[in-house]
Structure 1
Amino acid sequence: MKGMNKVKNLKKIGFEQSKYDEIIKYLIQDNGYWLENDKWDLIEGIFIGKRIYSSRYIDFSSFENIYLKNELKYYIVYSFKEKLLKNSYIVKITHTFKYLLAFINENYSKYKSFNDIDKNTFRLKFRNFLLNNGFKLVGNKISSNEMNNIPYILDFIKDFYDDREETEKDICYSKNIQGAKIPASGANNTKNNQINFNEIPMYYRYTVKRYFKTRITKNSWSTCCEYLLRVNYFFDYFYTNGYNDEFLENICREDIEKYIFYTLNNRKDRAKIETTKYIAWIRTFLEYIQMAQYDKAPKREVSFLIFQDDIPKRELAGDVIKRAKFIPEPILKQLDNNIMDLDRPQYIPIYILLRETGWRGTDILNLRYHNCLEQIWNNKEQSYNYYLCGEITKTGIVQLKIPIRDKVAEMVQKAIDKAKVSSTEENNPNKYLFNTYEGKLKGKPLAKQSLLSTMKRLIEEKDIRNANGELYHFKTHSLRHTRAKEYVEQGMGISVIQQILGHRSMQMTVHYATVSENVLYEKWKDTEDLELFKVDIVSNKLIEVDTSTDDGENLIRYEYVKKNLDAVRVPFGVCFKASKVPCKQQMNHCLTCASFCTTTENIPEYEEEIQKVKSQIEISDKFGRELWAEKNKGYLKLLETTVEKVREHKLVHKNGKSREDS
């Protein structure tokens, strides 16, 4: 047994030595500047290039322990080169070196790596050391953020020496996980570039990490970070209130009731949509680990622990969207007319594309110059049409192509040409169309927040105000809602709008499918002008209609249709045959014909027709026309059955190989 342990220890020593050699190799970069010099000059071209807070140097010369010094150097250089920390924050951390050195000399002078130091012990000792040297406590923390953050250096070094798969580590970095859904702008700071499991109790840490491994490539990275916050909150509540290891396996309804009561009271002034996650997401987590038979899952059925009624009611997605702020037409015209006066011209084409397409800001910023513009042959017009091509990351559409006007395509082509000239493998490795070519965010798309700031300055300069006389507040997503509204008002079908906007479901598109108050008024005015139903407001009796007038003729025609005609929705129109006359083709059409062939290319037509038929059924039900509703329901069933077969077989032809299934 001792022999085996000795072999393991030798392997561990060998492994740690090889990792330490990696650190040395990394520090040899830039002609050995980082390794050989203990006093780094901030104004050097290979470093920050300027003074920060009047500081010019980062001085490591006082560190006598060469191993810890080189690990600390590696942390600083790597964080600088990979843009994990702001340059100003790096300089702030180095201000703590005087205290850190004295602390290390007192407690860890003989250690050969930060990896050998227990973080919790280090944190406690370092806090006491600082208190003994004049620092004060604010709550449970030292009054200096830089001092409080020193222990995170241990996390970084321990992660470096940890050779396990990324999702098995206590800290997972997004850049090291293949398939992680990272936004185009990246995840570049400690708030969103990592998922840190260190706050999860050790007893349950493996369980939580195993669960997150199932989600980390399915949900966006930001959603995973949010999810961990809720799980942390859940465990923190129970451990803070005296529960111990194994509490989860034996948890009962009474325990959950206490948690829910605390959560709802603790978050009573917070947004309900967020509070809901502290209960609903926990239920999802517990349900999964129970169904997957994790050894530390609750023994009781989760359905008996957390009830549906426990979850606070929140606004539905549709309700949130209905409250979305469409840009009023007068303001929209002012923005469009003044957009060329933006003080940062590189954002002009971004705004124009947001207006033209209705895409999300992140989708426009994610465009790549080598594949974002394409010409596709149009048989009907006998010419090539321009299409904008991009990845819709939120809904997982790898490449969406939508038509754009020639003038807009010309603008995109100019941006492409400019990007090609300005881009190198070093400053734009991902070939972003709207790239940042220098600075901390070099190689990332232009920032959406910078666009908003630029638009805000334009609004102030041009004095663009809302109906209340206040300067207009601009949001990029408002352009998306506004463009969707324009599509609807132009008569575009819902299924086509869904494809252009890159929605996952038509239901989401329907929420966008509204019209402006002006168009609503015009439609209402049209019906008012008909005056089909004239009522004496005194006697509440119908006034006799003069059938010789246009109004009377309209009313008579409506009543005739209502009583005698089917008015059944059919492809490309409505059938107005007499209700007593049978018709074999009215509900069958070509769909059941032996010569009929349909493919996946026709799916948008089916989807549009299905929506129209459903609308017709709603009207029929509303006015009590059971015959209309019944026949349209039959037609709807035929449509839905057919499109289901098309999706399954790709091609449906009764005289083809799928005939027996048709």
Structure 2
Amino acid sequence: MNSVKIQEIKRNQQSKYEEIIEYLKQDDGYWLNNDVWNIKDEVFDKEEYKTGIYNIKLDFIKNETLKNEIKFYLVYSLKNKFISLSVILNEYQFAIKYLVEFLKINSMDESTFKNFNIDNDKWRLFLINKGIKLNKNNKICNRTYRYSCNTISNFIKDFYDDREETEKDIWYSKNIKGAKIPASGANHGMNNLINFSKIPHYYRYMVKCYFKTIITKKSWNHCCQILNNLNYFFEKFYSNKYTDEFIENLSRQDVENYLYWLNNEYKDKNTTYKSKFISYVRTFLEYIQMAQYDKAPKKEVSFLIFQDDIPKRELNPDVIKRAKFIPEPILKQLDNNIMDLDRPQFIPIYILLRETGWRGTDILNLRYHNCLEQIWNNKEQQYNYYLCGEITKTSIAQLKIPIKDKVAEMVQKSIYKAKELSTEENNPKKYLFDTYEGKLKGKPLAKATLLTTIKRLIKEKDIRDVNGDLYHFRLHSLRHTRAKEYVEQGMGISIIQQILGHQSLQMTVHYATVTENVLYEKWKNTEDLELFKVATKTNDLERIDLIYDDSENLIRYEYVKKNLDAVRVPFGVCFKASKLPCKQQMNHCLTCASFCTTTENIPEYEEEIDKVKSQIEISNKFGRELWAEKNKHYLDTLEKTLEKVREHKLVHKNGKSREEM
């Protein structure tokens, strides 16, 4: 099924409807000339479909224009993989029957979707009368039936609308240049668009202006999530008798009302889920205030939404359970047998996942023309290989990480192969691991297929877990395992954060665990620091003078393992008691009593001081006195700590230098 680009048609035709007709003329006019499409016909890919239905019937639609508009939507969605053929066969064609009947019953314009406006409540009632079941939330069970009416009409209306995409109320990812969509596409069909129609008309333009600033910086799915949270924010205020201009006059009491509504409605949800309804709103309000929008809050946002209002984001038990590390015996068997994969094209993908710890979507998103780079190393006086790629989830445009020469050689071979096989038709986006033919032509190899292939290898090689069952492999476990290996190799946690492309240090720390054996070895290496001592008889911590200590009492390893965390953090090491929660997650570790820093961290201080000074200069330039003041306090802490480090070489709460601070 060869696809014709709509943009090319638009440049050559005058009438919008004629463009639709021109599009349907592809494949020798099959789509235009036939009102019943049989999946066994040549225009369809020759694959086995698990369905007893073979025909897509549109012959019941009497109006020719309406019928061609629906055809246009189906063909375009099918060719661009927005809808699967099985969904069209089993759901969409029946939903379209309901839609056409709905138009007749409600005496609506049956000739075109161009001016189509639907009452969602009437559509829902119509489907209920047709016997369509409701779910536990009192919504139409079948998502296709629930959304098809708006989805089809919005798509057609968008096509007829010649305005810039960002001027419309619905933005389609295909029309946003630079939109950060994963190589495998958005999560599902609904996520291919961003719909602002639920935002109150009074604030809609302002919200769209805000999204214009983030739409190419954040991932598309992240933008969808932000809009969902903003929709909730507006809906809560307007449904509770607030009116236009409520944002301009927002008070702390209003925010407390919002927090009350949120916590009552989502009292059974985890804190991570609820935190986004507050943090995303706060970020939005801070931006429109900083940008001096007319409808921004008059009061400083920091006095409206406090940091303590945002629940500490925690991984729920299910997510923690999924944060799984592959046992070493299993990992060795996988590594030793990976060359026996029955689909060899997946071998380099597995190796890169093991080598880098990147997400599967990030490896599959690599492009053959820019994924490998040689960078000069002044210390070693030679060029080193770096893997280069975009991390869409955390909006890193280009992340470069060093890789071994042997791995680089493998990547180079994959590049040569991709260049040899690629054409503008089968690989227009220059994917390193492309699908060169079939219905997924032009897309990277499928992550799900890689997982299935590895599971077949596990079964073939009889790789079993400790209970004797075939090992249950998760692709993301390779990422968690690599993070652990980085820690065990002694790599600093902030460096691991950069390599893995994590947005926050806390996420990296969550995966940064080590085995018991490595824990002992790392403890032995840090014992010489003599940051604290434990009395061998009482098993109690004793204050130690770092300068005059005679080192008679030895650190008890078992005590350390049981009672203390030892984690690399920016500027030093954290020795927090394991039973205590981290109080510095939203602040800086410099003010924490568990923090330790040495002369080896001096370059970090100097670099950070330069950055903070630059931030103060920018804040003053734009009249952000509050920001400038906060940064000045931070700068003062940095400079005082650096002075102490230079004077005493090591700063920790158990030393005199720490206590003097």
Query: Aligned with 1:276: secondary structure?
Result: helix
Counterpart of 1:87 in structure 2: which amino acid?
Answer: L
Equivalent-residue separation in structure 1 for 2:220 and 2:118 (angstroms)? 26
1:34 aligns with 2:65: no
Structure 2 unaligned spans of 5+: 1-12, 541-549, 555-598, 604-640
**Alignment partner, residue 84 of structure 1:** 82
Match of 1:47 among 37, 40, 44: 44
Equivalent-residue separation in structure 2 for 1:57 and 1:417 (angstroms)? 43
Counterpart of 1:228 in structure 2: which amino acid?
Answer: L
Counterpart of 1:520 in structure 2: which amino acid?
Answer: L
Counterpart of 2:180 in structure 1: which amino acid?
Answer: K
Q: Deviations over 1:326-383 (max 9, x none)?
A: 4332332222123234344332221111222333333321222344345678899898
**Alignment partner, residue 70 of structure 1:** 68
Counting only pairs closer than 5 Å after superposition, residues 150-165 of structure 1 correspond to structure 2 as 150-152=148-150, 153-165=152-164
Counterpart of 2:204 in structure 1: which amino acid?
Answer: R
User: Do 1:41 and 1:56's aligned partners in 2 also have CA atoms closer than 8 Å?
Assistant: yes
**Alignment partner, residue 354 of structure 2:** 355
User: Do 2:109 and 2:116's aligned partners in 1 also have CA atoms closer than 8 Å?
Assistant: no
Equivalent-residue separation in structure 2 for 1:495 and 1:303 (angstroms)? 28
Check 1:97–1:262 CA distance in 2 against 1; reply closer, same or farther (3 A cut): closer
Check 1:348–1:137 CA distance in 2 against 1; reply closer, same or farther (3 A cut): closer
Q: Deviations over 1:280-333 (max 9, x none)?
A: 22122223334434344445554443333322233499xx99995443323322
Displacement of 1:36 in angstroms is 2.2
Displacement of 1:226 in angstroms is 1.0
Displacement of 1:146 in angstroms is 3.8
User: Do 2:653 and 2:659's aligned partners in 1 also have CA atoms closer than 8 Å?
Assistant: no
**Alignment partner, residue 573 of structure 1:** none
Provide the aligned length of Structure 1 versus Structure 2.
547
Query: Aligned with 1:58: secondary structure?
Result: strand
TM-score using structure 1 length: 0.70
Displacement of 1:510 in angstroms is 7.7
Q: Deviations over 1:576-606 (max 9, x none)?
A: xxxxxxxxxxx9xxx9xxxxxxxxxxxxxxx
Structure 1 unaligned spans of 5+: 1-15, 541-553, 559-586, 592-609, 634-662
Counting only pairs closer than 5 Å after superposition, residues 338-487 of structure 1 correspond to structure 2 as 338-373=337-372, 387-393=386-392, 394=394, 396-398=396-398, 400=400, 402-406=402-406, 408-459=407-458, 462=461, 464=463, 472-487=471-486
Counterpart of 1:84 in structure 2: which amino acid?
Answer: F
**Alignment partner, residue 23 of structure 1:** 20
Displacement of 1:438 in angstroms is 3.6
Counterpart of 2:29 in structure 1: which amino acid?
Answer: G
**Alignment partner, residue 59 of structure 2:** 61
Q: Deviations over 1:398-425 (max 9, x none)?
A: 362523233x344334433443444332
User: Do 1:48 and 1:87's aligned partners in 2 also have CA atoms closer than 8 Å?
Assistant: no
**Alignment partner, residue 309 of structure 2:** 310
Equivalent-residue separation in structure 2 for 1:385 and 1:527 (angstroms)? 31
Displacement of 1:507 in angstroms is 9.0
Q: Deviations over 1:581-636 (max 9, x none)?
A: xxxxxx9xxx9xxxxxxxxxxxxxxxxxx99x96996845355364x999xx9xxx
Query: Aligned with 2:37: secondary structure?
Result: strand
Displacement of 1:25 in angstroms is 1.7
Check 1:617–1:23 CA distance in 2 against 1; reply closer, same or farther (3 A cut): farther
1:269 aligns with 2:268: yes
**Alignment partner, residue 189 of structure 1:** 188
Equivalent-residue separation in structure 2 for 1:142 and 1:487 (angstroms)? 48
User: Do 1:253 and 1:306's aligned partners in 2 also have CA atoms closer than 8 Å?
Assistant: yes
Displacement of 1:276 in angstroms is 0.7
**Alignment partner, residue 113 of structure 1:** 112
1:216 aligns with 2:247: no
Equivalent-residue separation in structure 1 for 2:283 and 2:525 (angstroms)? 51
Equivalent-residue separation in structure 1 for 2:365 and 2:178 (angstroms)? 17
**Alignment partner, residue 93 of structure 1:** 92
Query: Aligned with 1:195: secondary structure?
Result: strand
Displacement of 1:472 in angstroms is 4.8
Deviating more after overlay: 414-423 vs 354-363:
414-423
Counting only pairs closer than 5 Å after superposition, residues 433-582 of structure 1 correspond to structure 2 as 433-459=432-458, 462=461, 464=463, 472-490=471-489, 501=500, 515-524=514-523, 537=537
Displacement of 1:435 in angstroms is 1.6
TM-score using structure 2 length: 0.70
Check 1:510–1:128 CA distance in 2 against 1; reply closer, same or farther (3 A cut): closer
Equivalent-residue separation in structure 2 for 1:529 and 1:59 (angstroms)? 78
User: Do 1:65 and 1:109's aligned partners in 2 also have CA atoms closer than 8 Å?
Assistant: no
Q: Deviations over 1:463-500 (max 9, x none)?
A: 54555767655444443443344445445677876765
**Alignment partner, residue 624 of structure 1:** 655
Query: Aligned with 1:191: secondary structure?
Result: helix
User: Do 1:192 and 1:225's aligned partners in 2 also have CA atoms closer than 8 Å?
Assistant: yes
Check 1:49–1:510 CA distance in 2 against 1; reply closer, same or farther (3 A cut): closer
Check 1:264–1:365 CA distance in 2 against 1; reply closer, same or farther (3 A cut): same
Check 1:269–1:461 CA distance in 2 against 1; reply closer, same or farther (3 A cut): farther
User: Do 1:84 and 1:188's aligned partners in 2 also have CA atoms closer than 8 Å?
Assistant: no
Deviating more after overlay: 38-47 vs 220-229:
38-47
**Alignment partner, residue 235 of structure 1:** 234
Counterpart of 1:100 in structure 2: which amino acid?
Answer: L
1:284 aligns with 2:297: no
Displacement of 1:93 in angstroms is 1.1
Counterpart of 1:28 in structure 2: which amino acid?
Answer: K
Displacement of 1:31 in angstroms is 2.2
Counterpart of 2:652 in structure 1: which amino acid?
Answer: D
User: Do 1:395 and 1:502's aligned partners in 2 also have CA atoms closer than 8 Å?
Assistant: no
Counting only pairs closer than 5 Å after superposition, residues 291-306 of structure 1 correspond to structure 2 as 291-306=290-305
Query: Aligned with 1:275: secondary structure?
Result: helix
**Alignment partner, residue 147 of structure 2:** 149
**Alignment partner, residue 201 of structure 1:** 200
Counterpart of 1:624 in structure 2: which amino acid?
Answer: G
Equivalent-residue separation in structure 2 for 1:183 and 1:88 (angstroms)? 23
Counterpart of 1:286 in structure 2: which amino acid?
Answer: L
Check 1:411–1:287 CA distance in 2 against 1; reply closer, same or farther (3 A cut): closer
User: Do 2:366 and 2:389's aligned partners in 1 also have CA atoms closer than 8 Å?
Assistant: yes
Equivalent-residue separation in structure 1 for 2:189 and 2:232 (angstroms)? 19
Equivalent-residue separation in structure 1 for 2:362 and 2:425 (angstroms)? 23
Equivalent-residue separation in structure 2 for 1:131 and 1:343 (angstroms)? 49
Equivalent-residue separation in structure 2 for 1:505 and 1:227 (angstroms)? 18
Equivalent-residue separation in structure 1 for 2:395 and 2:127 (angstroms)? 49
Displacement of 1:501 in angstroms is 4.7
Q: Deviations over 1:408-462 (max 9, x none)?
A: 3443344334434443322221121212234443212223343334434444555
Structure number with larger C-alpha Rg: 1
Equivalent-residue separation in structure 1 for 2:366 and 2:266 (angstroms)? 40
Counting only pairs closer than 5 Å after superposition, residues 315-334 of structure 1 correspond to structure 2 as 315=314, 325-334=324-333
Displacement of 1:245 in angstroms is 4.2
Equivalent-residue separation in structure 1 for 2:656 and 2:398 (angstroms)? 45
User: Do 2:427 and 2:442's aligned partners in 1 also have CA atoms closer than 8 Å?
Assistant: yes
Equivalent-residue separation in structure 2 for 1:349 and 1:303 (angstroms)? 49
Displacement of 1:273 in angstroms is 1.5
Query: Aligned with 2:27: secondary structure?
Result: helix
Counterpart of 1:116 in structure 2: which amino acid?
Answer: N
Query: Aligned with 1:268: secondary structure?
Result: coil
Counterpart of 2:353 in structure 1: which amino acid?
Answer: L
